[in-house]
Amino acid sequence: MFDRLDDMLIHYEEIMQELNEPGVAEDQGRFRRLMKEQSDLAPVVEAYQAYKRAKQDIEDSLALLNEESDEEMRELAKEELSDARKRVGELEQDLKILLLPKDPNDEKNIILEIRAGAGGDEAALFASELYRMYVSYAESQHWKVELISVNESGIGGFKEVVAMITGKGAYSRMKYESGVHRVQRVPETESGGRIHTSTATVAVMPEAEDVDVQVDLNDCRIDVMRASGNGGQCVNTTDSAVRLTHIPTGIVIYSQTEKSQLQNKEKAFRLLRSKLYDLEMEKKMNAEAAERRSQIGTGDRSEKIRTYNFPQGRVTEHRIKLTLYKIDAIMNGDIQELLDSLIAADQAAKLAKMGETA
């Protein structure tokens, strides 16, 4: 590990020297490549430099203990030695995590797709609440949310909603949300006070670029029509809505949120690329040996991952057996603790697997 870190440190210093060369910014391609490499390496280099300083602090404290006869100074050296050893242990763990193989999709924007599952109108209401939860979280991260399509139910719920979330590292944090979310509560329409269970399915897909997936226009059928449902001025009076059918896979995408047919078509193709990319990722994951798969699922749409129990005020994340008693805050977008816990569990599982194969 440390040989690799030394090589990374040398490479980082070479990049910094190149960036300081006169005229480097004139070659935009080279400049962008160097800046990206510098940005990727910086967290590892900073942690490694802090680790080396802590190791040096240990040596200095040990030397002081061997040389110093004053009891007060020896106590101070012991305290500094204990602190430095603790820092070394923490930084070693941080470095192991930083050196884990990176998911190439982590920095991508995402397509968020939420569908009502079992439970009729109550499932549709829950789907709309999940969507608002994610929008609130995205806003707290200063990410941009664009609605691509929505199919509303008659009581304010969503049978299906699709949105694009744009922001640095969106996929790295949101990818663990894919799966079946379950709600347990007494519906407003329930006169007997009985608790009902409903579900909604969440899919989080990395946005695919043209370089990731090439879409053959001969494989697509495009139909235009008037948008249905609620909308702003002109949305229901022109043929602006687009239905895109990908014939080889049978994927059908409906985009109607923009007044312009061209904009709706562009959104539909962005979503199609991401769906095709997601299919390829799923095939690759299924082809891998079971022992190489992450213990924290990120793609199984049929996996029941979380329960929102309103009568008890709790949210239970089944994959890591975590229960939080702050359902109101979570439904208002405060999901960072859930996401951090999932990320930590995933990293721990990968570190354990790395230790087994070392």
143/164 same-domain check: yes
Query: Residue 318 falls within a domain, yes or no?
Result: yes
Evaluate if residue 189 carries a pLDDT over 90.
no
Q: What CATH number is given to the structural domain containing 44?
A: 1.20.58
E-state strands within the chain: 110-116, 144-152, 158-166, 179-185, 196-206, 220-225, 241-246, 251-255, 304-309, 314-317, 322-324
Q: What CATH number is given to the structural domain containing 192?
A: 3.30.70.1660
Segment 71-80, tens digit of pLDDT: 888 888 888 8
* pLDDT: which is higher, 219 or 124: 124
Token pair recorded at residue 283:
């095939």
Identify the domain boundary among 72, 98, 124: 98
Query: Is the pTM of the predicted complex or chain greater than 0.75?
Result: no
Evaluate if residue 181 carries a pLDDT over 90.
yes
Kindly write down the DSSP assignment for every residue of 99-159, as one continuous string: TSPPPTTTTS-EEEEEEE-TTHHHHHHHHHHHHHHHHHHHHHTT-EEEEEEEEE-TTS-EE
Beta bridge partners of 243: 223, 254
What percentage of the chain carries pLDDT values higher than 90? 30
What percentage of the chain carries pLDDT values higher than 70? 87
pLDDT at 137: 96
* Number of structural domains found in the chain: 2
- Is the CB of residue 41 less than 8 Å from the CB of residue 15? yes
Helix axes 2-19, 28-67, angle to 10 degrees: 130
206/167 same-domain check: yes
pLDDT at 299: 43
Query: Residue 353 falls within a domain, yes or no?
Result: no
Backbone angles phi, psi at 148, to 5 degrees: -100, -50
Query: Residue 358 falls within a domain, yes or no?
Result: no
pLDDT at 184: 93
Evaluate if residue 47 carries a pLDDT over 60.
yes
Segment 270-281, tens digit of pLDDT: 888 888 888 887
pLDDT at 296: 53
At residue 31 the predicted structure's pLDDT band, cuts being 50, 70 and 90, is: confident
Query: Residue 324 falls within a domain, yes or no?
Result: yes
> Across all residues in the chain, what is the average pLDDT?
84
pLDDT at 286: 66
39/142 same-domain check: no
Selection from 83-92, 130-139, 302-311 with the highest mean pLDDT: 130-139
Query: Residue 80 falls within a domain, yes or no?
Result: yes
pLDDT at 139: 96
Structural domain including 121 reads 110-287+297-348
94/114 same-domain check: no
